[in-house]
């Protein structure tokens, strides 16, 4: 069982560019959540995907968008990058169908640096 995987591990972009981050959930999980964690801060919830739809969203602008595929994997897209978007982006997976599971597993994260 590979657990939650994320790619790439590190990424450097410049202001105004667009970025796509990828996440594969733990085997058996169908729900993916994305978080942004600035240095020295706790994770901030961006949004959650289940059944290929955005089910919950945190306080993030529309520049942050996502997608979930039929195999439950997910992408996080950020447009018009700002310096303040530099952070560790975490993906977490859990199981919702059949009753929401207490288990939530995090991936290793993608470190994004915007110059």
The contact set with another protein (CB under 8 A) reads 4, 31, 33, 35, 40-45, 48, 50, 55-56, 88, 90, 92, 94, 96, 100, 102-109, 111
Nearer to another protein, 14 or 56 (CB): 56
Find, among 102, 103, 95, the residue nearest to 30 by Cα. 95
Nearer to another protein, 16 or 84 (CB): 84
Number of DSSP helices (H) and strands (E) in the chain, helices first: 0, 11
Minimum Å gap between C-beta 8 and another protein is 14
Nearer to another protein, 18 or 51 (CB): 51
Minimum Å gap between C-beta 73 and another protein is 16
Beta-carbon contacts of 103 under 8 Å, excluding residues fewer than 6 positions away, are 94, 95
Distance of alpha carbon 14 from alpha carbon 65, whole angstroms: 19
């Amino acid at each position: 069982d590979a657990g939650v995987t994320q790619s790439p591990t590190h990424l450097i972009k410049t202001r105004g560019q667009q970025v796509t981050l990828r996440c594969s959930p733990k085997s058996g999980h169908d729900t993916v959540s994305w978080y942004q964690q600035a240095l020295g801060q706790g994770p901030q919830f961006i949004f959650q995907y289940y059944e290929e739809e955005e089910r919950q969203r945190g306080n993030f602008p529309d520049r942050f968008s996502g997608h979930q595929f039929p195999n439950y994997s997910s992408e996080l897209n950020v447009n018009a990058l700002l310096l303040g978007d530099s952070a560790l982006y975490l993906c977490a997976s859990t199981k919702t169908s059949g009753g929401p599971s207490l288990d939530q597993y995090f991936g290793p994260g993608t470190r994004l640096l915007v110059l």
